[in-house]
Homo-oligomer: A and B are copies of this chain.
Amino acid sequence: MKSDGSTETTSVRREGPKRSEASRQAILSAAREELIEHGWRSFSPDRLSRRAKASKQTVYRWWPSVAAIAIDAAISMIDEPVIKPEEPVDVQLAAFIEPFSELARVGDGAHLLRSALLAASDDPAAGEIFRTWFNNTIRKPMKNVLAQAASKGRIRRDYDPDAVCETLFGAVWHRLILMRGPLPHVLAMKSAQAVLASLRP
């Protein structure tokens, strides 16, 4: 997630005070608490600014929408997947899901995650933020893993990488959003193995 944008080397002179990092953190932190307590539909800038002891002006100055805050707040809690090329393919695929199920397991992480996904779905612009992040963090690396596997002959050559991604994460959304069920540790491996089973060369 692009948070501050410190690359302003060109002509746009930023005179005077700079963005308060303390305020930014307070708002994101308050956002997490608010999303967990009240959910996405009742996520209100008013309560947010009150809880963060920040003025509404400050909130509106730095985020394009409340949905963007929700996504920002949640994404910053999801670790980057750690892929080790030397491991078997199923383990590598499962590694993409791990950060999600890990967050969903601790405390009210599932609620936070769900709220952010709802925000991404509700607000098209904010959804674009999420999709960009998802593409960079999940979809592209996964494509690489699959390409590698295919070149080694582990899976069929006529596989559809997007369909694989869809299937793997579809199960996550199904449990998280619709079923409000848990994301047990084994889910990642079971999904990965099922997908691979359908891709046997």
Contact = CB atoms under 8 A, between A and B. Distances in A.
A166 interface: yes
A163 B170 CA distance: 11
A83 interface: no
Contacts of A184: none
B190 A163 contact: yes
Contact of A170 (B114, B120, B174, B198): B174
Interface of A: 39-41, 114, 117-118, 120-124, 127, 130-131, 134, 160, 163, 166-167, 169-175, 177-180, 190-191, 194-195, 197-200
Where chain A touches its partner, the secondary structure class is helix
- Identical subunits present: 4
B198 A194 contact: yes
Contacts of A190: 160, 163
A198 to B, nearest CB: 4
Given A178-B130, A198-B197, A172 B171 contact: no
A123 B177 CA distance: 11
